[in-house]
Amino acid sequence: MKSIIMKTIKKQILLRMACVAFALVSSITYAQNTNPETSTQRDGFIIEFSVGGGLISLEDSEGIQTFDKSQGTFVFPDLKLGYMLNENLAITAAMPGNIYEFQDNDRNFGGFIPSLQYWVKNRWWIHGGIGLAIDSPALYDIKDDVNDDWNFGFAVMASTGY
């Protein structure tokens, strides 16, 4: 019974976070400037934040898959902090993460990835880096002697945006 209630609470929390995220995204969308002649000045510190979803399929170092099939994940939040080195190049620290379920326990798969972001055009950028991947229990779902293992590994990130 407790497991069913926890899953219901987790689903309600995820739905509420998704509603807030979509509200934030829609307000940003309406705030876009349609004037193509504006020039962008990029300097100083940068902060990027994103919300989304994805697919995950993991296997351990012996090649044994932990899932029978891939499963959907909820990404909240992805955070990137950085500093502009010049108008087209920034050095950043990306901290992606998502939550997935394994053996009725929620786990976090994330990382810390030092990276570079380059603006190819005024509104189009590419981004890449190498860093540390972390697989750990979700902080709200840690139980004694259950779901308490932490795993670390190598992470590679490549992305683009507009």
What does the pLDDT look like over 26-75, one tens digit per residue?
Answer: 555 555 556 656 566 788 998 888 777 777 776 666 655 566 667 777 77
pLDDT of residue 66: 60
pLDDT of residue 120: 93
Helix residue ranges per DSSP H, 31-158: none
Beta strands in 57-150 (DSSP E): 71-84, 89-95, 97-102, 105-119, 125-137
Is 0.95 topped by the overall pTM? no
pLDDT of residue 35: 63
CA gap 50, 52 in Å, rounded: 7
What does the pLDDT look like over 79-102, one tens digit per residue?
Answer: 899 999 999 999 999 988 888 777
pLDDT of residue 113: 92
CA gap 146, 137 in Å, rounded: 9
Average pLDDT score over residue span 122-138? 89
Q: For all residues of the chain together, what is the average pLDDT?
A: 78
Under DSSP, the state recorded for 101 is: E
pLDDT of residue 137: 85
SS3 3: helix
pLDDT of residue 26: 58
pLDDT of residue 32: 56
Which residues, 6 or more positions from 25, have their beta carbon under 8 angstroms from its beta carbon?
51
- The pLDDT of residue 23 is above 90: no
pLDDT of residue 97: 83
Average pLDDT score over residue span 107-135? 90
